[in-house]
Amino acid sequence: MKNRVSIISAEKIGVEVAVRKAIDLAGGLPELIAPHSRVLIKPNLCRPEASGTGVTTDCRVIEAVTRLVLELNPKSVIIGEGAGAGYDFSGSTSTEEAFRVSGTADVAARLGVELCNFNDDEWEEVSVKNPYIMDRVKIARTALHSDVIISLPVLKTHLRTLITLSLKNTKGILPGAEKRKTHALGLDKAIADLNSVVKPSYVVVDALAGMQGLWAYPQDRVEPGLILAGREPCAVDTVGTHLMGFNSSQVMHLQYFAARQRQKADLQHIDVVGEPLDEHIMNFKSGWDVFRARYPGVHIIEGESACSGCMGELMGALTAVREFSGGEALSELTVILGNARRDEVPKTEKTVVLGKCARRLAHLGLFARGCPPMCEDIIRIICSATGSDADMVIASLNQERNRRWEDTKHLLAR
Ligand code: SF4
């Protein structure tokens, strides 16, 4: 039997009705949730970003799904997330901040639901049977002991994995440092291994607004205005991938996981209901396409261990320097990250070296320590290498971030 995935437009009916309709059409939640069920709702709050930006799950989607689940009177309902590598360490921003600025904390308070920061949760180490590359993995205890996990990813591209949907969203249940392990081992195979231990029971994709390219707001924001739902993560991620204009055969973690599940991650094996997929396909730009166009003068040298911790902070720093200091500042800049080899690095005057993995090459340029280094520290060394005013860039960035949070407050106060 084909797996069913629904696509519903929220344009005329609003978010809450669209979420309910999408779930109804795809096969509702009552079959999954019993009075004894401990339900985990897992949004994507990879970093502190306002609801509606397309980076994090829209708080209206989180609220609609949580209300639906509460109507079924399960034993418990928790909204949980552990923000990306580098968060929740001393001196860094935290998952709590992501809960707050995304409106998730308000939703939880309004509905009387508990929040769980997986980076601070207790964890258990479990074995992965027949792993691709990760035979043991630490998982936040709250997630591990949930009976039902409802994943709420956002429709986005990703520099490392091409796209990020429900299978990649599961990574948030890994406590802090364990997230880095998946990058060091090889992200696509690690995602397949992780989901073979803890797999979403149901997926609702927030495709109201998504992100292409480098997730810079607002220029990379895309607004399909849709909600997708389905019981099988592989099928939902396959439809989401095609909706972004990519082919699911290009998404390695999806293919690895499908093979493990003895499934096929292609449209022929999926029953798409609701809106016709063909009428909504958009051509999202990939992360590297946008990077090459936006930063033609920046040369990145990354070793195999380079992960989205360093990459994410670097993208934030480059965007800020470009926006507040002018694009010329970045011409002929070389950035080294991960365990790059010495012979890969050309001799240039403007070189910056990022993070613990690359510290052997710190002498080749200006170095930012950390795992990952903080965005502000990267801004400082880039500005120093390029002769720009770091204090001005950082002040402008903070001002812009506060303005964005203020601008989206209306979404939180309903
Ligand atoms: S130093 Fe950077 S690339 Fe290396 S593990 Fe840490 S975050 Fe990832």
User: Considering the entire predicted model, what is its pTM?
Assistant: 0.85
pLDDT in tens, 11-35: 999 999 999 999 999 998 999 999 9
Question: Helices (DSSP H) in 137-186: which residue ranges?
Answer: 141-144, 166-169, 176-185
Q: In testing the pocket of ligand 1, which one of 89, 178, 180 has its CB within 8 Å of the most ligand atoms?
A: 180
* Dihedral sign, Cα of residue 182, residue 188, residue 192, residue 195: positive
pLDDT for 346 equals 80
Distance separating alpha carbons of residues 347 and 219, to the nearest angstrom: 33
pLDDT at 116 over 50: yes
Model confidence at 347, pLDDT cuts 50, 70, 90, reads confident
Report the C-alpha gap between 338 and 340 in whole angstroms. 6
The whole-number pLDDT of residue 365 equals 94
Helix (H, G, I), strand (E, B) or coil at 3: strand
pLDDT mean over 187-210: 96
- Distances from the Cα of 106 to the Cα of 79, 102, 243, angstroms: 12, 9, 31
Report the distance separating Cα 53 and Cα 75, nearest Å.
Answer: 33
Residue 224's identity, in one-letter code, is P
Token output for 318: 């480059």
Tell me, in angstroms, the distance from the centre of ligand 1 to residue 381's CA.
17
Q: What is the pLDDT of residues 386-399, one digit of tens each?
A: 999 999 999 998 88
Q: Which DSSP string do the residues of 23-56 spell out, in sequence order? A: HHHH--STTT--TT-EEEEEE---S---TTSSSS
Cβ neighbours of residue 376 closer than 8 Å, sequence gap 6 or more: 394
How far the first Cα of the chain sits from its last, in Å, is: 41
Alpha helical stretches, state H, 221-280 = 233-243, 252-260
In the predicted model, is pLDDT for residue 316 greater than 90? no
Give the list of residues 6+ apart from residue 54 with CB closer than 8 angstroms, or none.
154, 156, 209, 210, 211, 215, 217, 220, 221, 222, 223
Name the phi and psi angles at 389, rounded to 5: -90, 100
Banded pLDDT at 326 (limits 50, 70, 90): confident
Ligand 1 cavity residues, CB under 6 Å: 85, 180, 183, 305-307, 309-310, 337-338, 355-357, 371-372
Query: 356 in the Ramachandran plot: left (φ > 0), alpha (ψ -120 to 50) or beta?
Result: alpha
d(CA 141, CA 125): 9
**Residue 305 alpha carbon to ligand 1 centre in Å:** 7
Strand (E) positions, 280-360?
A: 298-302, 333-337, 351-354
Residue nearest to atom 6 of ligand 1 (CA): 371
Q: Which of 281, 261, 382 is nearest to 327 (CA)?
A: 382
Q: What is the pLDDT of residue 414?
A: 45
- Output the CA 355–ligand 1 centroid distance in Å: 6
Q: In the prediction, which pLDDT does 114 show?
A: 97
Q: pLDDT digit string (tens) for 254-305?
A: 999 999 999 999 999 999 999 999 999 999 999 888 988 999 989 999 888 7
- The pLDDT of residue 407 is 66
Check residue 180 and give its pLDDT.
74
What's the 159 CA to ligand 1 centre distance in angstroms? 15
Distance 274 CA to ligand 1 centre (A): 42
Phi-psi region at 239: left, alpha or beta (left = phi > 0; alpha = psi -120 to 50): alpha
Contact (Cβ atoms closer than 8 angstroms) between residue 148 and residue 141: no
Going by C-alpha positions, the residue among 315, 333, 326 that lies closest to residue 375 is 315
Q: Ligand 1, atom 8: nearest CA belongs to which residue? A: 307
CA pair distance 27, 42, nearest whole angstrom = 19
Tokens, residue 125: 């180490």
